Structure 1
């Protein structure tokens, strides 16, 4: 890394650390301080754009973290785009030759090299006609991209660690390692198109139950070349929607929301950037989601808690939302859980009272994320990405069907989601897992019983009664009954589920 580039990276880290620290003070900011923050935010965006593709991705991820950066930086990063001037096609020919072999040109009947469909820092995209006559889209990585991005990743990791040591408070506000891992995971598919192709294959499987949702088919994928089918229609942000009937628009909007909800809570893999430029629409064909380079993945527990959070929000249940949200992250040593619950008691009615048909889940999650950070609750970085994805899809749906209620679609989709989750719980795999948990819990309980009997025999037994944290039935949900009874009950249900699935044993 050159000295000038190192200086720019150091400058960016300094600006971001300053913003992270001052972003905690959101109320009562003087006009001069507000102007200073806005200048710093503009400078952050300028430096990110100057540094290139990896840092643009860093900025896009930070744009999902309203709990970390200031409102001024959020506003600047929200419109951050990875777009550069196109390069002549001969720049990319060596990549095609290296990835597809010396006879790469035989794959195509025609390549529109004069007018690329898109040009970004990592790749350039062309419209092509394959040798068999099919239309396609060709995505070619820029030469040397991987080496530059991997070097930037290493530099960012070192810089973040130095910042964490210099300002320990940052470690309490932001899980630096987890956030960096989210950034690196998001970059990986864009550094290896075979990973993006796998995402598209999974997306196509997810879309099988939707007549109006489509994912491009991958014809060929190598680490640096991706060849796929074209998307019918035009990008949503360039579409003349007067050519669509009201019924067609509502169908597209409802399918998009339902597809995304299913991704969030059933498949636990979702398109992380469904903005209008990544959605093509056609009156008869429906919607096609392109650009699966950035996806989010959440585990079973986080998905279930996410359902609880959105359901609590929709039902004006502030206490339920506070509980689910706290479970999705962890409380720092200085957390104010009662204060967070009070915040939700004030915030949730304001979100749901105006008009339920105008409920915006994505914006609401962003507000909750911010309150949680201010009260010392560290939230998983993937929750920020989930909120950003929901915000994007709701914004896209409002373009195509502004009269559609996200709440109504969520309530309709929730029934199918719960059926799928129940089916998952009663599957043989989950039943076996619950049975195993029962066995482990039983072994632990027997060990504790043996220890208790030994203490009784030696007259050394001490009884603890009350609501002390970590003992008894504490309100922190960490008591012995909470830890032991729940697995036992789950195990019993698992055994019942296994018997239901397998039926009575067959006679000789």
Structure 2
């Protein structure tokens, strides 16, 4: 049993759960009888995660990216989780830095500010200066955090094993979610991974399709100093975007125009990441979007990224158009195309749910429509219909929600539809003709040529099989399990009835020709057996209507 390992951390978890009043988990942890699984209220769940510490805050942040699993109230509450914790003393951080460097600390960083500029659950950041005078940010892993995370991961997997025994755990694949979380958390312990993501995002945004790439910044990585526990990157001097005090620029651009230009830049940069690059910064909350002193915008903290394959990008582009058109049927079809695996779904019910959801937007102006909220609701309709979508759909929805929230807070006058419309038009043109129209035309011509050459041979083969009676059809019919079981039951009853009748006839034949005591006894036994079996058959039919 999970609780037989009475380690202090387990006792602490139980105390937190009991203190916050989550009765279902209390019964589960103690091996008691559990009813249908019930989550605590959003506020209570947040308090439990905060009380349990940094690793569980990370778990909450991951769950906030899964609107396909949780309702909007939970997503909204968990999205406010921040992993800011008291900083580790400089004396301990210095030891970690020295172990990661190949040369003395004083030679590499002549100047380091021992006071961190930020402190999180896994690392804290210090400002330093290189020997050549360039300023850098040092992201240093907290001492001993790898051991703490290993212990908490084991506990989370133990809890997931318990919940997986319930229908709730099997329906929502709790073990898979726990596995996904543990892999993501273990990956965060390797800063070279985040450095790789940062470099890739920097390269992608250096080629702006809809924006000036000089206006958006991603920090440069100093690879010769970066290791698994130390990330050294360019220092970007600025403030969080929502704290920026705009005063106009030397070209006479007023503050309102500046705000519009910045929100347009952000939307276009993220639309390129989502719908063209297929690799996107998945955590654009206000603290990760900086306004630099020179007027540019910087993206910070690339530890959480998402990926979208070309097929998914195409489906999501069409989904945007379906939302604009309030087309419930098309939304249902696209949702099924996004599903992880084919599942039996009542399409009419799914369309009806989407129609009911979209109907409230019929009289809403496109300029006032909250696109990210609509996407959240679409994912929740899929969840209610037990459609499992890929986990990156949660990251996609959360990214759009964070981006739209920051944009509206920074520039309340923003017209989201005007920002999105030209991009969607360009995306559809790109899907139709590709990046190189001439190449697409040549590829289509080659496909037509191949089809024209193969078609006569395929038709000849089909006719040959028809005339030679060797044509075979492979049919797969779904939903016939009930019919098959009914036929099996009917066949069983028929066979049983024939058996009873045979026993009666056999007993009658033996009785008419019985000349010895043994034959008379055998006849009586057969009659008795047939009578009992016949009576059992009648009672079974009357009670259940079928005999297994």
TM-score bin (small chain): 0.7 to 0.9
Change (3 A) 1:463 1:401: closer
Note the C-alpha offset of 1:102: 4.9
Q: What SS does the corresponding residue of 2:284 show, helix, strand or coil?
A: coil
3-state DSSP of counterpart to 1:351: coil
Question: Rg bigger for which structure?
Answer: 2
Is the aligned partner of 1:170 residue 2:169?
A: yes
What does residue 94 of structure 1 align with? 95
Cα gap change, 1:224/1:283 in structure 2, threshold over 3 Å: closer, same or farther?
closer
Q: Confirm or deny: 8 A CA contact 1:321 1:344 kept in the other structure.
A: yes
1:375 pairs with 2:385: yes
Q: CA deviation at 1:59?
A: 0.6
Structure 2 counterpart of 1:402: 412
**Paired residues of 2:238 and 2:291 also in contact (CA < 8 A):** yes
Following superposition, the deviation at residue 92 of structure 1 comes to: 1.1
Question: Hey, what does 2:332 align to over in structure 1?
Answer: 322
- Correspondences of 1:28-47 after superposition (within 5 Å): 40-47=41-48
CA contact (8 A) 2:339 2:389 kept: yes
Check conservation: 1:337, 1:375, Cα contact below 8 A: no
The answer for the alignment partner of 1:484 in structure 2 is none
* Aligned residue among 431, 434, 439 for 1:423: 434
Q: Residue 4 of structure 1 aligns with which residue?
A: 8
Aligned to 1:122: 122
2:517 maps to none
Say yes or no: does 1:217 pair with 2:220: yes
How far apart are residue 130 of structure 1 and its match?
1.7
Q: CA deviation at 1:287?
A: 0.9
In the alignment, what sits opposite 1:138?
A: 138
Equivalence for 1:69: 70
CA contact (8 A) 2:169 2:175 kept: no
| Distance in 1, Cα, partners of 2:262 & 2:385 | 39
Residue 43 of structure 1: how far off its partner (Å) = 3.3
Q: Any unmatched runs of 5+ in structure 2?
A: 26-37, 249-253, 480-548
User: Do the aligned residues in 2 keep the contact of 1:265 with 1:307 (CA within 8 Å)?
Assistant: yes
Does the CA-based 8 Å contact 1:241-1:400 persist in structure 2? no
Matched, 1:226 2:226: no
List alignment gaps of at least 5 residues for structure 1: 20-36, 471-508
Q: How far is the alpha carbon of 1:330 from its aligned partner? A: 4.9
* Aligned-pair CA distance for 1:261: 0.9
Distance 2:24 2:435 in 1: 46
Cα distance in 1 for partners of 2:238, 2:184 equals: 28
- Deviation string, structure 1 residues 355-393 (Cα, Å, up to 9, x no partner): 211222211111111111112222221111110010001
SS at match of 2:222: strand
Contact 1:41 1:73 in 2 (8 A): yes
Preserved CA contact (<8 Å) 1:313 1:352: no
The list of structure 1 runs, each at least 4 consecutive aligned residues, that deviate by more than 6 angstroms after superposition, is 10-17, 425-436, 445-452, 467-470
> Structure 2 length normalisation: TM-score?
0.71
Distance in 2 between the 1:295 and 1:187 partners? 13
Please, which of 191, 194, 197 is the counterpart of residue 196 of structure 1? Answer: 194
1:491 corresponds to which residue?
Answer: none
Higher relative contact order (CA 8 A, sep 6+): 1
Secondary structure of 1:285 counterpart:
coil
Helix, strand or coil for the counterpart of 2:434? helix
User: Is 2:315 aligned against 1:310?
Assistant: no
Number of aligned residue pairs: give it.
Answer: 448
Tell me, what secondary structure is at the counterpart of 2:214? coil
Contact (CA 8 Å) 1:199, 1:292: kept in 2 or not? yes
Look up the SS of the partner of 2:99 in the other structure: helix
Scaled by the length of structure 1, what TM-score is found?
0.76
| 1:272 CA displacement | 0.8
Contact 1:362 1:387 in 2 (8 A): yes
Give the match for residue 52 of structure 1.
53
Checking the alignment, whether the CA contact within 8 Å between 1:189 and 1:293 is kept in structure 2 is no
Distance verdict in 2 for CA 1:67–1:423, change over 3 Å:
closer
- Paired residue secondary structure (2:86): coil
Find out whether 1:391 has 2:395 as its counterpart: no
Structure-2 separation of matches of 1:299 and 1:278: 25
Q: Is the 8 A contact 2:322 2:328 kept in 1?
A: yes
After TM superposition, the structure 1 = structure 2 runs for residues 342-491 of structure 1, keeping only pairs within 5 Å, are 342-351=352-361, 353-418=363-428, 421=431, 422-423=433-434, 457-458=468-469, 461=472
Is residue 72–residue 376 contact of structure 2 (8 Å, CA) maintained in 1?
no
Name the CA distance, whole Å, in 2 between partners of 1:273 and 1:5: 30
Deviation at 1:169, TM superposition (A): 3.8
Change (3 A) 1:237 1:247: closer
Displacement, 1:227? 1.2
Matched residues in 2 for 1:153 and 1:429: separation? 49
**Distance in 1 between residues matched to 2:478 and 2:436, nearest whole Å:** 31
Indicate the SS of the match to 1:412. Answer: helix
Q: CA deviation at 1:56?
A: 1.6
Quickly say closer, same or farther: Cα 1:419–1:226, change in 2 above 3 A.
Answer: farther
Q: For each residue in 1:271-303, what CA deviation from the matched residue of structure 2 results, as whole angstroms up to 9, or x when unmatched? A: 111011111114753210101111111222211
